[in-house]
Chains A and B, each alone.
Chain A
Amino acid sequence: MDILIGSLAAGILIGMVLALVALGLTIIFGVMDIVNFAHGEFLMIGMYTGLLTAQATGVDPLLTLPVAALVGFVLGIGCYALFVRFLLRGPMVAQLLGTFGLMLLLRNLTLLFFGAEDRALHHGILVGKSFELGMGVIVPATKLAAAAFSVLAFWGIWLLMNRTKLGKALTATALNAQGARYVGIDTERMNALAWGIGGATVTIAGALLVNFWSVNPYVGLLFCMIAFAIVALGGFGSVPGAFFAGLIVGLITELPGIWDFVTYTFDVDWMSQVPMTSFKYMWVYVAYFLIMVVRPRGLFGWKH
């Protein structure tokens, strides 16, 4: 039983962080219909920012969040102003391959500067500590804090989108860019802002993730695909959708634990033969494919 509850708890906690990873992707897609392949690389840059800032200044990794957010914001706006702006005129294939080029560029620049080796944080207030939730379930403090900060960031973005004039302008641009221009919204600035917010949220997620996940220049692709799955499940362009879909995908990544639970509880022989841990992320892709085919709009989507 404790395996099951442990897996569920771990899945929900990691799901909250994954949801924050996907948030930026869904905002960018919602506002301007562009799929950002470089999203995983933004996350990787966020992870490096958190790690290097913490190591250079000696402060706790959790205090590096504002630095990461600033780097992400500047990075997002920079990418938009210098590059993505020119892609919007072209056909879809150019947009897909263009952001893929951006992904290769960022990944290999990181490789050039920081090398290919894995890096991890070894110190910090929370690193190595854990809470016991009862029933034998132990939760690392870093994951708990990361999940809490993710929820906080989500709440902030939700407020921004629904309670401020800026958020209304963003939503208007997403719904109908031409109409938004008619009522005097500078859609070009809104696009840049969407990239800025998208970049900032994902680098925050990176700085949270680096507390318990080692980083190398190739870490981005996995998260990029997971983020695509979350966005597809939640619906392209939907903020609450991203949150709930993140939880679901988090649980999917913990399927091996649930599988083990069923295997040992009911003593199913053939189930113990299956190397479930090797398939950990395959289920995310399978789920993603099925969602795309059955319900391309996603659970909360309004774009199609």
Chain B
Amino acid sequence: MEALKHAVDFSDFKRIDLTVAGALMIFFIVFPITSHSSFAMSTMIQFFMFSLYGMGWNTIGGYGGQVDLGKAQYVGIGAYTTAVMLVRWDTPFWVSMPIGVLLSVSWSFIIGYPLFRLKGHYFAIATIATSLVLKDLFEVWNFVGAARGLEISPIDFQPPDFIHLIFKHDVYYYYVILAFFIIGLLYMNWFRKSRLGFQLRAIKDNEAVAASLGINVHWAKIKTYAIATAFVSVVGSFHACYIKNIEPEDTMSLDISILIALMAMLGGAGSLWGPIIGAGILIPIKSYLKEWLGGMAGLAGIDIIIYALIIMIISAKEPRGVWGIIEKWRQRRGQN
């Protein structure tokens, strides 16, 4: 009960932030009713998915300061668990999703234990290596369709199937992921005020001091890593039902891992709104640039060039992200 009260308590934010957040939330809820293109709809769903990925990354990477560049392996585990169980045994989403989370979290404990003995660059590169090993395994594993991947092809779409999460119209997916998004946001609001959240910030500032205060640094990191993993795995399962066609290349590639970390960093790592702002900026840019520029003849890759320039500018000029800029601006205004 106490936890729930903390989760819905946003009172430490400024009134203007909450007004903007409330207005956006109303927009999110009524968006499907307004007239929109199907492209805008899929962009919105992508936005929610990547916000959730970013929130997961933000626990370990933002609050904990451990740069994890291997989140895609858990997208893969979640997506493949759901897809395999659906295709082979017709298992409902609500059963396969928790199993996917269980598998992901177990795997995260297995590799997390040795991984968190490393620090800084070493940790970051080692997470990439584990992710690539898993991707290579999935590319030759026939049970999960090897490099061709798996396709979920529903025979008929008749009534909206909320049990298996197979819909014909994107609007149902929209509301499902919106529900996940709200739950994730409330969880993150609780998390940042929880004991573990404070422990992580202490670890980020100075590990030796945190350890001297009686925090079990290694265990706190592993626990947080598992939480981040659970977030990513849930959305991975959703991804399988939504995209309906998964391959190792587009669920587990390094680009996905980096994109997840980038969302959070662009918005502002270690803040509640950071990943959402980051996803809100990057996802529309990415998909609309691809639509407008990538389609033109001879301009292949130009969307990623612009996107790469954004990454380079933000990391060189303002590593604290958009939220950092807002806070800096507020501080300056407060002083005058």
Q: Is the pair B269, A93 in contact by a Cβ cutoff of 8 Å?
A: yes
Q: Mark A189-222, 1 if CB is under 8 A from B, else 0.
A: 0000000000000000000000000000100010
Q: A288 contacts which of B115, B129, B258 (Cβ < 8 Å)?
A: B129
Q: How far is the CB of A224 from chain B (nearest CB, A)?
A: 10
Which residue of B69, B304, B316 contacts A83 across the interface (Cβ within 8 Å)?
B316
Q: How far is the CB of A105 from chain B (nearest CB, A)?
A: 4
Chain B interface mostly: helix
* CB–CB B140/A275 < 8 A: yes
| In the bound complex, CA of A232 to CA of B124 (Å) | 13
A93-B300 in contact (CB<8A): no
Bound CA–CA A217/B301 (angstroms): 11
Does A95 reach chain B (CB closer than 8 Å)? yes
Interface residues on B, range: 35 or more
**Cβ–Cβ < 8 Å partners of B61 in chain A:** 93
Q: How far is the CA of A250 from the CA of B279 in the complex (A)?
A: 40
Instruction: Contact check, B315 vs A95: say whether CB atoms are below 8 A apart.
Output: yes
Interface of A: prevailing SS = helix
Cβ contact within 8 Å between A93 and B265: yes
CB distance from A34 to the nearest CB of B (A): 8
Is B311 among interface residues, defined by CB-CB distance under 8 A?
yes
Assess whether A59 is interfacial by the CB under 8 Å rule. no
Looking at the assembled complex, report how far the CB atom of B129 sits from the nearest CB atom of chain A, in whole angstroms.
5
Task: Check A108 for interface membership: any CB of B closer than 8 A.
Answer: yes
Q: Cβ of B300: which chain A residues have Cβ within 8 Å of it?
A: 111-112, 115-116
Q: Does B200 contact A (CB under 8 A)?
A: no
**Residue of A whose beta carbon sits closest to that of B137:** A282
A289-B258 CB under 8 A given contacts A105-B305, A105-B309: no
| Inter-subunit contact A282/B115 (CB<8 Å) | no
Chain B residue nearest to A108 (CB atoms) is: B301
CA distance A86 to B301 in the complex (A): 26
The answer to whether A112 touches B129, judged by C-beta atoms less than 8 angstroms apart, is no
Q: Is the CB of A98 within 8 A of B311?
A: yes
Give B69's nearest chain A residue, CB to CB.
A96
Complex CA distance for A64 and B243, rounded to whole angstroms? 47
**A292 contacts the other chain (Cβ, under 8 Å)?**
yes
CB of B254 within 8 Å of the partner chain: yes
A108 CA / B311 CA spacing, docked (Å): 14
Kindly state the separation between the CA atoms of A87 and B262 in the bound complex, as whole angstroms: 15
The docked-state distance in angstroms from the alpha carbon of A87 to that of B265 is 14
Residues of chain B within 8 A of A293, CB atoms compared:
114-115, 117-118, 126
Report yes or no: B136 in contact with A101, Cβ–Cβ below 8 A: no
Is B94 engaged at the interface, CB distance under 8 Å to the other chain?
no
Report if A228-B125 is in contact (Cβ < 8 Å); known contacts: A98-B315, A292-B118.
Answer: yes
Please tell me if the beta carbons of B312 and A98 are within 8 angstroms of each other in the complex: yes
Q: Is A155 an interface residue (CB 8 A)?
A: no
Asked if A109 contacts B305 (CB within 8 A), the reply is yes
Nearest-CB distance from B67 to chain A (Å)? 5
- A 81-99 binary contact with B (CB < 8 Å = 1; else 0): 0010011001111111110
Q: Tell me which of B129, B137, B140, B300 has the highest count of chain A C-beta atoms within 10 A of its own C-beta.
A: B129
| Cβ–Cβ < 8 Å partners of A279 in chain B | 136, 140
**Within 8 Å of chain B (Cβ to Cβ): is A127?**
no
**Minimal Cβ-Cβ distance residue in B for A110:** B301
CA distance A288 to B122 in the complex (A): 11
In the complex the two chains form, is B130's CB within 8 Å of A101's CB?
no
Q: In the complex the two chains form, is B254's CB within 8 Å of A221's CB?
A: yes
A234 CB, min distance to chain B CBs, angstroms:
14
Interchain nearest-CB distance for A82 vs B (Å): 10
In chain B, what residue has the closest Cβ to A88?
B316
Q: Is there an interface contact between B126 and A292, defined as CB atoms closer than 8 Å? A: yes
A148 on the B face (CB < 8 A): no
A225 to B132: give the CA distance in the assembly, Å. 9
Other A-B pairs beyond A108-B301, A108-B304, A232-B125, 10, CB < 8 Å: A83-B312, A87-B316, A92-B124, A93-B67, A96-B69, A96-B121, A217-B301, A285-B129, A292-B129, A293-B118
Task: State the A residues within 8 Å of B (CB).
Answer: 33, 35, 83, 86-87, 90-98, 100-105, 107-109, 111-112, 115-116, 217, 221, 225, 228-229, 232, 275, 278-279, 281-282, 285-286, 288-289, 292-293, 296
Nearest 6 pairs of A and B residues by beta carbon: A101-B311, A98-B315, A94-B319, A108-B301, A104-B308, A86-B316
22 A–B pairs (Cβ distance < 8 Å), ordered by A: A83-B316, A87-B315, A90-B316, A93-B61, A93-B261, A93-B319, A94-B315, A97-B258, A98-B311, A98-B316, A100-B258, A104-B311, A108-B301, A108-B305, A217-B301, A225-B128, A228-B128, A229-B129, A285-B130, A289-B133, A293-B126, A296-B122
